[in-house]
Amino acid sequence: MNRSQHPALIGLDWGTSSLRAYLLGGNGTLIDRRAEGWGIQHLPEGGYAAAFRGVAGEWLDRWPGLPVLAAGMVGSRNGWREVPYVECPADPASIASGLVAFDSGCGTIHLVPGLMQGGPLPDVMRGEEMQIVGVLAMQPALAERSLLVLPGTHCKWAVVERDRVVRFTTYLTGELFAMLRDHSIIGRPAKEMGVTAAGLEFDHEAFTRGVKSAHESGAVGIAPWLFTARSLFLTGVLAAPQTLDYLSGLLIGEEIRSVVAGLADAVCPSIALLGDPTLCNRYRLALSQFGIDDVQALNETGPLGLWRIGEAAGLVAHAPDTMQEDESRGST
């Protein structure tokens, strides 16, 4: 077994609704993974300690003493222990310097701090910093200058320069969609038919219509256009199920319109989408309506991000390349 296959770190991605555990070898090689629905709002009997033991106890029994690194909402005010944010600009070293270690009752856990964008209107993230660090390790070309997009309930747009997150903005697009779908007159036609976004086949045409409407709204924005999700249904242009994809296109399109407006005359940096492939595909389609086609999508960058933070903190050591090891053994 080469060094990359020897367990060296247990990484936890512990969010609001789920807990993912990764057994990592040298240089962040993924050896094994576990997942449970034990987010901080859905803990099993016994709480955090029971959840931790349930997802990683077998590894700890087999390889006692492995360092454990946990990122996400587990380090929030409502989590196991609150970890202060690290202010931007932030790189892996500054994130590592903010780790908080505590005795979990079944081993020491190091909690990863989130990031804060300071100023009169501050912004924060927890968990996304792990994914960002991972993608910069995976794609070093993005570390010099890039715009990283993390779609989700609260979508993050992070500006990276010289391996540092210099600033970021949060858009509540996913949450707004859910609220309008479930609690407004806009979502009523689909709701009355028993249609949900989860069980709906993606309607490319309706989604694109929504994105184009947001694009054409210009400086006004979509506030005067939101009701068209209903009026287009009443006039027979959209069927009830299509109204949800149209609404999704309007909201994602508005998000992108705002970002593009902020770039003004600046050259658009390299863009990468991080996260769920289905959601990233919607953003890729929406970006293409704004003439932005050079976009790559990356999934599951968190494990490598945890490794790199652990490396910066001195919890794990950089493993030599396997080929170099073999050459070394052959020359002795």
Check whether 331 has a pLDDT greater than 50.
Answer: no
CATH value of 3-139+303-323 in 3.30.2010.10, 3.40.50.720, 3.30.565.10, 3.30.420.300: 3.30.420.300
What number is the average pLDDT over the span 186-213? 86
Could you report the per-residue pLDDT of 235-276, keeping only the tens digit for each? 999 999 999 999 999 999 999 999 998 876 666 789 999 999
Check whether 1 has a pLDDT greater than 80.
Answer: no
**What pTM value is reported for the model?**
0.90
Q: What is the pLDDT of residue 197?
A: 61
Delimit the domains of the chain by residue range.
3-139+303-323, 172-292
Check whether 320 has a pLDDT greater than 50.
Answer: yes
Could you report the per-residue pLDDT of 25-38, keeping only the tens digit for each? 999 999 999 999 99
Q: Determine the Cα–Cα distance for residues 20 and 11; give it in Å rounded to an integer.
A: 8
Q: What is the pLDDT of residue 3?
A: 57
Whether residue 182 contacts residue 191, with contact meaning beta carbons closer than 8 Å, is answered with yes
Structure tokens at 113: 């701090």
Q: Determine the Cα–Cα distance for residues 274 and 138; give it in Å rounded to an integer.
A: 12
Q: What is the pLDDT of residue 93?
A: 97
Q: What is the pLDDT of residue 239?
A: 95
172-292 carries CATH number 3.90.1720.10: no
Structure tokens at 53: 């033991």
Check whether 199 has a pLDDT greater than 60.
Answer: no
| Average pLDDT value for the chain | 91
Q: What is the pLDDT of residue 323?
A: 35
Could you report the per-residue pLDDT of 51-86, keeping only the tens digit for each? 999 999 999 999 999 999 999 999 999 999 999 999
What number is the average pLDDT over the span 107-111? 96
By DSSP bridging, strand 155-161 and strand 19-24 are: unpaired
**Confidence label for 325 from pLDDT (cuts 50, 70 and 90):** very low
Hunting for tokens 């001195």 — which residue is that?
314
